[in-house]
Structure 1
Amino acid sequence: MKLQTQIPLQKESKNPINYHSKMVLLGSCFSENIGAKFDYFKFQNLQNPFGIFFHPKAIEKFLQQVTSKKVFTENDIFFENERWHCFDAHSSLSSVDKNVILNRLNTGILNANSALQNATHCFITLGTSWVYRNIETNEIVANCHKIPQKKFTKELLSVTEISASLHHIITQIQSINPTITIVFTVSPVRHLKDGFVENTQSKAHLIAGIHSVLNGENACYFPSYEIMMDELRDYRFYTEDMIHPTKIAIDYIWEKLVTTWFSDDSIPVMNEIDSIQKGLLHKPFHENSEQHQAFLKNLNFKIAEIQKQFTHIKF
């Protein structure tokens, strides 16, 4: 008896992820959930240098700035609610000091440019097709920074607009790294503030837009959204807000990603690093006991063996 539908997944054979791979992750908060997994298992990765991006237009503009190595100045930031902000970046980069935010922006551009040039994979997670356009500048913003909504118009990107934006994203990335593998996915996080029907329409536009650019482009798709909707179709896999996936759901989707995208030789290393990480979190009852000292000695030996193989790994 089958009690669950399974999303068919094919093992990646062209460019699987291993401990020599270098990843760049851009997009919604779900990309940070997956990025936290890459961090835990000590893979080389860079996550959202400008903070969370929800829609493709924000990612497109960011990549244009990265490839051109844009230098941000005072003309690119504004002061509101006692802090300096930039409409092209998430509020996590905002600061009470304008020099601090400018340093964060310009450092983020240089870090992203360097990371993309050397990356083997770029994961792009799209969250919504809804965007906000600044009435004063007529520019679509990455983040509104809690500015009054009357200063923006809300728009739903069409499939055609999304397709064009994604095509530009691919072109920008490949202009500085022609061999990189680009993996698109749609965030399973529900944007219910837009409305139930509106959220469904938004996700549908993203999915249609992504699949329109996969043919003939050096890009592929991982079905995070579909796994959540079909294999985990139960409210117990959502947090209390009924919007975000639980830790179990994130772990489940991560396991699917590992099964699909990770090389076979990376799995034993991941298991060993998992053992080390759990060991580092262990809190002994008797810190000075012989048993705990032997445990620490064995743990340090494991760490040294891993670092012999992969010098970039730090604990």
Structure 2
Amino acid sequence: MLFHTEFSPEPLPYRIGLNSRIVTIGSCFADVMGHRLTDHKLNVLNNPFGTIFNPVSIVKLLTMALQNGTPDENHYVERNDVWFHYDFHSSLWANSRDELRSILTNRLAAAAEAIRNADFLLLTLGSAVVYRHIETGKVVANCHKMPGSLFEKYLYQIDHLQDELNRLLKTLHKVNPRLKVLLTVSPVRHTRDTLPLNSVSKSTLRVITHELTVWNDWVTYFPAYELMMDDLRDYRFYEADLIHPNAQAQDYIFEKFAESAFDTELRQFVDEWAQIRKSLAHRPLYGDSSSAHQQFLTKLLTQLEALSKRIDVTSELAMVRGRLEKCIMDNA
């Protein structure tokens, strides 16, 4: 008896390896995937501009970064003595305009350098609904809780969105011909846009991502949206807000992503690292100074030293060595 429509995505044509360099850009789902990739010890620059939902802002920021541009001087805004920028997420703020300019310029430079050296760009599109700043006439990434009267909200026209993303792909391919782009559509519903408009928005993004993969053999699509909507079609997989996928859903989607996108060596490493992480989180039943715990830490240290030849486990080695030294001193 089947209780859900299980969906196993096809293997992606380009596989992520243990030494692959990855950049994630986009919605909060890009953050989720980026954190999980980082937790598995991959080399990731995760959402350097903060959460960005609409493709127009994503294109603007990536193009700005890759062409050595600077943040739009007309889009700085002060609220309650804190400075923000309309093209960036509210997690990027400062106490002065100059300080914020420096932070944003550094983020742009870091993103540009990472993309020029990256193997994969994971690009997650969240919404085709945009907010246009009426005074400047430009689409913003974040309204920063400024009065709604300053903005015009509308659904961006599909052909214009596709043109924007096509231009971005050409720029990306020019600066890094070996870069592979993995597209996803965020499974998070934008209920503030109303459910009918959210459906139109997600459909728009899904059509565009499909077209981009048809015409660019170095661009692929991972069906995170379909996994959430069709495979995990039950509210027990959502947070209390009934909008965001919960940890169980995130784990499930990431497992499907690993099956589809990781090469054999990386999949084997993921299983190995999962056991190491459990050991790192282990706390002894009868205190830190027992001889059994000392043996446990010695074994764990040996495992980490072996892994250090393949990945960076500097912080984990320091932690285990510190715990082992304390254990030895307590037993002296």
TM-score (norm 1): 0.95
Matched-pair contact (CA < 8 Å) for 2:17–2:263: yes
Distance in structure 2 (CA, Å) of the matches to 1:27 and 1:73:
19
Deviation at 1:104, TM superposition (A): 1.6
The 1:11/1:105 distance shift into structure 2, 3 A limit, reads same
The 1:158/1:241 distance shift into structure 2, 3 A limit, reads same
Aligned to 2:264: 264
The 1:7/1:60 distance shift into structure 2, 3 A limit, reads same
1:95-134 matches, within 5 Å, as 95-134=94-133
Q: Which amino acid aligns with 2:242?
A: M
Matched-pair contact (CA < 8 Å) for 1:235–1:242: yes
Aligned to 2:326: none
- Count of aligned positions: 314
Distance in structure 2 (CA, Å) of the matches to 1:224 and 1:313:
33
1:3-82 matches, within 5 Å, as 3-7=3-7, 9-13=9-13, 15-72=14-71, 76-82=75-81
Deviation at 1:94, TM superposition (A): 0.9
Q: Secondary structure of 1:284's partner?
A: coil
Deviation at 1:213, TM superposition (A): 2.0
Deviation at 1:5, TM superposition (A): 2.2
Comparing 305-314 with 17-26, greater Cα deviation is found at 305-314
Deviation at 1:71, TM superposition (A): 3.2
Deviation at 1:89, TM superposition (A): 0.5
Aligned to 1:2: 2
Aligned to 1:243: 243
Distance in structure 2 (CA, Å) of the matches to 1:156 and 1:50:
23
Matched, 1:85 2:84: yes
Aligned to 2:309: 308
| Deviation readout 1:161-206 (Å, 9 max, x if unpaired) | 2211221221221121111110111001111011111111110111
Distance in structure 1 (CA, Å) of the matches to 2:167 and 2:73:
27
Q: Secondary structure of 1:266's partner?
A: helix
Matched, 1:277 2:252: no
Q: Which amino acid aligns with 1:297?
A: T
The 1:232/1:186 distance shift into structure 2, 3 A limit, reads same
Distance in structure 1 (CA, Å) of the matches to 2:65 and 2:251:
31
Distance in structure 1 (CA, Å) of the matches to 2:69 and 2:179:
22
Q: Which has the larger radius of gyration?
A: 2
Distance in structure 1 (CA, Å) of the matches to 2:314 and 2:227:
31
| Deviation readout 1:31-55 (Å, 9 max, x if unpaired) | 1111111111000010111101001
Matched-pair contact (CA < 8 Å) for 1:85–1:95: yes
Distance in structure 2 (CA, Å) of the matches to 1:311 and 1:89:
30
Q: Which amino acid aligns with 1:34?
A: M
| Deviation readout 1:223-255 (Å, 9 max, x if unpaired) | 100111110000101110000001111111101
Q: Secondary structure of 1:153's partner?
A: strand
Matched-pair contact (CA < 8 Å) for 1:307–1:314: no
Distance in structure 2 (CA, Å) of the matches to 1:194 and 1:27:
18
Aligned to 1:294: 295
Deviation at 1:103, TM superposition (A): 2.2
Distance in structure 2 (CA, Å) of the matches to 1:313 and 1:64:
35
Q: Which amino acid aligns with 1:44?
A: N
Distance in structure 1 (CA, Å) of the matches to 2:62 and 2:191:
28
Comparing 160-169 with 38-47, greater Cα deviation is found at 160-169
Matched-pair contact (CA < 8 Å) for 2:35–2:46: no
Distance in structure 2 (CA, Å) of the matches to 1:38 and 1:207:
24
| Deviation readout 1:128-163 (Å, 9 max, x if unpaired) | 111000000000001111111110000101221221
Comparing 278-287 with 121-130, greater Cα deviation is found at 278-287
Q: Secondary structure of 2:215's partner?
A: coil
Aligned to 1:223: 223
The 1:76/1:150 distance shift into structure 2, 3 A limit, reads closer
Q: Secondary structure of 1:111's partner?
A: helix
The 1:314/1:287 distance shift into structure 2, 3 A limit, reads closer
